[in-house]
Structure 1
């Protein structure tokens, strides 16, 4: 079974590996929408994982990104949506062995999906 929890956070970034005249080279911000999927079997409590436990694991990771300049976050010097989702995965996976999938949207019409290597 898959369960999920969603969270939003706001961050700014700029992309340095794009041409000088690309609009994303300038500092700009997004309201990111993250959906974390956990895979597992139903436990005796009737759930795969307590949603509060999932939230408690997610919040310290998201706190490192929320209202921050992503370029200043260690390991996110090139904070494309793709690199941000991999950074989140690497931060959550040690604490969530059932982590199956992440979906990260940086706009209502664009984002990335990551299911590990």
Structure 2
């Protein structure tokens, strides 16, 4: 299996609405986010040029991320309500990102 990775950055606000009202993170607040997009392919599935994926094809993902997430309120941008954060890793389940790149399935989310 061959793998490539590219980092993308965005800033956004959110509310962790399952916290008690006195908790500071229950109020709207923002963060700078890092998305590491990692794509893998078997050697026999490489492009004709020998790429896992042409990095230029990721421009569509960057455009989608900027239009959908950057400087947005994530609770609203991701469908409203609670944003599931997975334990100690602080990873948010952003499986809706799958639709930003054709042929990509994030599986367990980001």
User: Could you say whether these structures have the same fold, taking a TM-score greater than 0.5 normalized by the shorter chain as the test?
Assistant: yes
Q: Give, in angstroms, the shift of residue 91 of structure 1.
A: 2.9
The RMSD of aligned alpha carbons is 2.5
Unaligned runs of 5+ in 2: none
Which structure: greater strand fraction? 1
Instruction: Give the aligned length.
Output: 101
Structure of larger gyration radius: 2
In the TM superposition, structure 1's runs of 4+ consecutive aligned residues that sit over 6 Å from their partners are none
More RCO (CA 8 Å, sep 6+) = 1
Which segments of 5 or more consecutive residues in structure 1 lack a partner in the other structure?
A: 101-114
1:55 corresponds in structure 2 to: 59
**Structure 2 residue aligned with 1:5:** 6
Q: In structure 2, what is the equivalent of residue 86 of structure 1?
A: 93
CA distance in 1, matches of 2:62, 2:98: 7
Q: State the TM-score, normalized to the length of structure 2.
A: 0.73
Alignment of 1:1-117 (within 5 A): 1-40=2-41, 41=43, 42-82=46-86, 85-87=92-94, 89-92=95-98, 95-99=101-105, 115-116=107-108
TM-score norm. by structure 1 comes to 0.69
The answer (yes or no) to whether the contact 1:12–1:28 under 8 Å persists in 2 is yes
